[in-house]
Chains A and B, each alone.
Chain A
Amino acid sequence: MKVLVPVKRVLDPYVKVRVKQDKSGVDLSNAKMAMNPFCEIAVEQAVRLKEQGVASEVVVVSAGPQQSQETLRTGLAMGADRGVLIPTDVALEPLAIAKLLKAVVDKEDPGLVLMGKQAVDGDNNQTGQMLAALLGWAQGTFISKVELQDGAAQVTREIDGGLETLQVKLPAVLTVDLRLCEPRYASLPNIMKAKKKPIDTHSPEDLGVDVTPRLQVSRVEEPPARQAGIKVESVQELVKKLHEEAKVI
């Protein structure tokens, strides 16, 4: 079974976000970029499926600026077999990405799409669900465990009250949560090998997808700053302040 893993290039999640002066967006010039952490987990899970003999091939796909190729190389260094790059300078929204991915699925015919539950830049948490809808496939979102059986996947999902287990028919789209697995570090030899792995390129036009944004972003602002607090010297003082000053206990 072929597994398709969409990956996204995002601002490194440990880097402090700077909003542009003109409020047009977040300043990404010279910022450190990385693979979205949820996508890393999806790649790791796909590579594990290959190591278990369940997956025959792992294909990573990324849509975005040309530099997304680096993100694909990271996935290849983790053990994916080949990459698909969809270069575009348009700021892609989840619906557009889902349509691009549907076009890739139509070409590649995978038995499973494994992807992150959300990207840590847009925080939308939509693309996997939208892709499943466009394909008419089952979805298993926010999964922390997956077992593939004959023609189906048993997935454990992280829900508000705890955990839930579903049986979903394959092919399906599964979106991964942080606790699914611990992604591996790519070793230097694997990084070198990844340079030789093939990456196909398809433009959105090749794929016949209109990626024009539907939403207009009028401004991006910093959140209101919190007033600096005070340090207290003892638990007694803390409780007194919370009780008498803040009146919250």
Chain B
Amino acid sequence: MSVLVIAEHDNSRLFTGALSTIAAAKKLGDEDLHILVTGSGCRAAAEHAAKVAGCTKVLLADGDSLGHGLAENVAPLVAELAKNYSHVLAPASTFGKNMMPRAAALLDVQQISDISGVESPDTFKRPIYAGNAFATVTTSDNPKLITVRATAFDDDPAEGGSAAIEEIEAPADQGLASFVGQELTQSDRPELTSAKVIISGGRGLGSGENFQMLERVADKLGAAVGASRAAVDAGFVPNDYQVGQTGKVVAPDLYIAVGISGAIQHLAGMKDSKVIAAINKDEEAPIFQVADYGLVADLFQAVPELEKEIDAIKG
């Protein structure tokens, strides 16, 4: 049997989360790795998928009904294709989380969410209780539908493949939902889930303006800016900055937590960072229990100083 990966893309290239999902798929040991690219005007993304090392075939479903990734239109297509595969994998992004369970229910299989490890082709490890426990689960469902925690697998960027692209027919619009509009956050900084360095702010920042202090440091480090739920709820930054159980899960080389207490729900999203540094004026803050380097200090003095010190090193 073979494995199908549902790739998320921006119409021209696959996202890093898709590459991590492909890396997870390769651990299943199957010979055939197919990548499904769905969307509207997404041929370039399919061409990128065809170059992915190890990919043996790309399925391209290009049509208006698939344009905005509506689950009502994508899930029936995935469910139909899934019958030819032993495993179907998608990234545990908002796209994958929205669409995959719908496809799984159409197939009457119990999906496995957000896997962080592949033990064998039917046994997977996944976080539960906000990452405070890990469950190892075995499934006998067929096909196996799985979403993948991108940060748990290398986003293998290896190219050099030359898979054939097979066009398949886009399904008819189910007429259940339609796209109205979107407001995407514009930023020149790296994307949060793939950034090597992240500097995050919490309620301690006090206002949205004060996040500019973090942004200046971020720009010097080539870092992304994240936030705790408290900072998002207070309106300091948009919701897509949120790191945590209900936001994004990140695992950068360096995570700098500024003015973040370290609630369980926040730790769930960043505990797997290689190095954690924390700046907080409360020395009892739980963030210090996971921080490799902790500094008890007022962030309003420490962050500008941090900027200067980084200048000194980089200079």
Contacts and interface: CB of A to CB of B under 8 A. Distances in A.
Interface in A128-179: 128-134, 137-142, 144, 154, 157-169, 172, 177-179
B interface, by DSSP: helix, strand, loop or mixed?
Answer: mixed
A129 B105 contact: yes
B104 A165 contact: no
Interface string B178-190: 1111111100000
Interface in A208-247: 213-223, 226-236, 238-239, 241-243, 246
B288 A231 contact: yes
B301 to A, nearest CB: 8
Contacts of A217: 135-137
Contacts of A216: 137-140
14 contacts: A16-B264, A94-B101, A125-B113, A139-B177, A159-B94, A162-B184, A163-B184, A169-B176, A222-B133, A229-B288, A230-B294, A238-B279, A242-B275, A249-B254
Contacts of A124: 101, 111, 113
Contacts of A140: 177
Interface residues of B, number: 92
Contact of A126 (B95, B104, B132, B139): B104
A95 B112 CA distance: 11
Nearest to A134: B105
Given A138-B177, A220-B134, A129 B71 contact: yes
B94 A160 contact: yes
Interface in B217-259: 221, 229, 232-233, 238-240, 245-246, 248, 253-254
A130 B133 CA distance: 25
A231 B296 contact: yes
Nearest to A237: B295
B203 interface: no
Contacts of B193: 160
A132 B310 contact: no
Given A121-B128, A132-B102, A238-B295, A162 B112 contact: no
Interface of A: 11, 13-14, 16-17, 19, 26, 93-95, 98, 117-118, 120-134, 137-142, 144, 154, 157-169, 172, 177-179, 213-223, 226-236, 238-239, 241-243, 246, 248-249
A117 B245 CA distance: 12
Contacts of A157: 94
Nearest to B70: A166
B306 A239 contact: yes
A160 B177 contact: no
Interface of B: 68, 70-72, 75, 93-95, 97-106, 108-114, 123, 127-141, 175-185, 193, 197, 221, 229, 232-233, 238-240, 245-246, 248, 253-254, 264-265, 271, 274-277, 279, 283, 288-297, 302, 305-306, 309-310, 312-313
Contact of A218 (B138, B293, B312): B138
Contacts of A232: 293-295
B240 A177 contact: no
B296 to A, nearest CB: 7
Given A130-B101, A215-B110, 4 more contacts: A13-B265, A130-B102, A165-B181, A239-B306
Given A11-B129, A19-B133, A130-B104, A163 B239 contact: yes
B309 A215 contact: no
Contacts of B306: 235, 238-239
Nearest to B265: A13
Contacts of A162: 182-185, 238-240
Contacts of A98: 105
A230 to B, nearest CB: 6
B309 A214 contact: no
